Amino acid sequence: MTNDSGNTLLALLTGAAIGAGIGILYAPDKGTKTRKKIKKRAMETTDDLTSRISHAKEELTKTAEAKKVDFEQKLEDTISNMSYKADDIISALEKKLADLKNKNAQLQK
């Protein structure tokens, strides 16, 4: 969940809770009924927020795990490629060294 959509969701839920609270307060019920309704709405909102936060946490964990696996694979590929290139460089240097030794041996004669 991106930060903008998280902020939008929070603003929407806050607005809904405030609107519901004001609506209940102006309803023509007894005080005890109104308090029960407010408590019930608060519990429902708490449950809903808990569920949404839990879902967001799960999604974030999945995304982080996928990115970690992807990073590890790319790192492994990079190290493998570097190893092959190092072997190629060493082989080329060994060939140059052998050529220089041959030229040096010819010049020594």
pTM for this prediction: 0.47
| For the chain, the helix, strand and coil percentages under 3-state DSSP, each to the nearest 5 | 95, 0, 5
Alpha-carbon distances, residue 3 vs 8, 57, 65, 70 (angstroms) = 9, 13, 19, 23
Within its chain, how far is the Cα of 38 from the centroid?
36
Evaluate whether 24 touches 37 at the Cβ level (below 8 Å). yes
**Local confidence pLDDT in tens for the 109 residues of the chain:** 556 777 787 788 888 888 877 777 776 767 787 778 878 888 888 888 888 888 889 999 999 999 999 999 999 988 888 877 888 888 889 999 998 888 888 888 7
Evaluate whether 1 touches 56 at the Cβ level (below 8 Å). yes
